[in-house]
């Protein structure tokens, strides 16, 4: 499983865009990049997933450069409720590791008024 | 996506007793479920893989005799913390993984806060 590195924390104000970059230099060809959000005392929640280029859904965008050695989660116009820990995961779908997620330290995002 | 429910949400037990935590996949038949542990201010750590109808597989450093896992049906996995001690106090989370291939996300339960006194 590829190791990921992301900032420990990020602060933002309401209404701003928050971009969290994750480094995964050892990403394998068949690895997908997935981001999860976790609120205190809750299980993580899936945000977005991508393989290459750009992916957008109703809550976030994920930018992946051509070399796939990093990715950036973009949260548009954050609100106070976006205060959470965000985890970047890179995993493969092999039978040996499928579903066995390796969480890094995550990024604590704090949104203030 | 799958809905995963854990019970209880929190539990307090005395040192030396055992505690059972249930993880149910409400709308998805899961042959495999995963158990994680999360200490305060730390990330999730995979403890074990629960396999329906067979033995669980444990990650390195996790005592299988202390953390008993039973996966008797496609919708229920249980984690029993035996002879609990204060250092076992943690947030325990289970998950299931979809079956669409490597691009499938994981679905997590709401977690169980265990406090051993």
pLDDT tens-digit profile of A52-68? Answer: 989 999 999 999 999 99
Note the pLDDT of residue B2.
81
- Asked if residue A93 has pLDDT above 60, the reply is no
Note the pLDDT of residue B41.
92
Note the pLDDT of residue A31.
87
Interface of B with A in 38-97 (CB under 8 A): 43-46, 49, 91, 93, 95-97
CA distance B109 to chain A (A): 6
For B48-93, what is each residue's pLDDT tens digit? 999 998 899 999 999 999 999 999 899 999 999 999 999 999 999 9
Q: Which residue of B43, B105, B108 is in closest CB contact with A34?
A: B105
Under 8 Å between Cβ of A46 and A60: no
- Predicted confidence band at A100 (pLDDT cuts at 50, 70, 90)? confident
Note the pLDDT of residue A3.
86
Note the pLDDT of residue A97.
65
- Predicted confidence band at B104 (pLDDT cuts at 50, 70, 90)? confident
CA A76-A82-A86 angle, to 5 degrees, is: 90
CA distance A14 to chain B (A): 24
Residues 6+ apart with CB under 8 A from B60: none
- Asked if residue A96 has pLDDT above 60, the reply is no
* Residue B14 burial by Cβ neighbours in a 10 Å radius (0-12, 13-18, 19+): exposed
More confident call, B97 vs A113: A113
Query: Which residues sit opposite A71 in a β-bridge?
Result: A22
Measure Cα distances from A107 to A56, B68, B87, B96 in Å: 20, 32, 26, 23
Nearest to A68 by CA among A33, A95, A101, A35: A33
Q: Can you tell me the distance from the alpha carbon of B104 to that of A92, in angstroms, rounded to the nearest whole number?
A: 10
Strand B112-116, strand B90-97: pairing: antiparallel
Q: Which residues of A touch B1 (CB under 8 A)?
A: 46
Note the pLDDT of residue A2.
67
Q: Can you tell me the distance from the alpha carbon of B102 to that of A3, in angstroms, rounded to the nearest whole number?
A: 17
Note the pLDDT of residue B100.
63
B34 touches chain A (CB under 8 A): yes
Q: Can you tell me the distance from the alpha carbon of A52 to that of A63, in angstroms, rounded to the nearest whole number?
A: 8
Q: Which residue of A43, A51, A93 is in closest CB contact with B108?
A: A43
- Asked if residue A94 has pLDDT above 60, the reply is no
- Asked if residue B28 has pLDDT above 80, the reply is yes
Note the pLDDT of residue A49.
93
- Predicted confidence band at A9 (pLDDT cuts at 50, 70, 90)? very high
């Amino acid at each position: 499983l590829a190791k990921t590195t992301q900032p420990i924390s990020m602060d933002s104000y309401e209404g701003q865009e928050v971009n969290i970059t994750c480094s995964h230099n050892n990403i394998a060809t068949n690895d997908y990049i997935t981001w999860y959000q976790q609120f205190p005392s809750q299980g993580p929640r899936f945000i977005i997933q991508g393989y290459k280029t750009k992916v957008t859904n109703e809550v976030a965008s994920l930018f992946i450069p051509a070399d796939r050695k990093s990715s950036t989660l973009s949260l548009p116009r954050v609100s106070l409720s976006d205060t959470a820990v965000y985890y970047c995961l890179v995993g493969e779908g092999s039978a040996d590791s499928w579903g066995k997620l390796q969480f890094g330290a995550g990024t604590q995002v704090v949104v203030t008024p | 996506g799958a809905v995963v429910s854990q019970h209880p949400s929190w539990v307090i037990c005395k040192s030396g007793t055992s505690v059972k935590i249930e993880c149910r996949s409400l709308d998805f038949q899961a042959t495999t479920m995963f158990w994680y542990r999360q200490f305060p201010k730390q990330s999730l750590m995979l403890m074990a893989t629960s396999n329906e109808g067979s033995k669980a597989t444990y990650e390195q450093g996790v005592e299988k005799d202390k953390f008993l896992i039973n996966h008797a049906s496609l919708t229920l996995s249980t984690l029993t913390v035996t002879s609990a001690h204060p250092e076992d106090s943690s947030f325990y989370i289970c998950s299931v993984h979809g079956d669409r291939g490597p691009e499938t996300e994981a679905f997590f339960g709401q977690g169980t806060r265990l406090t051993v006194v």
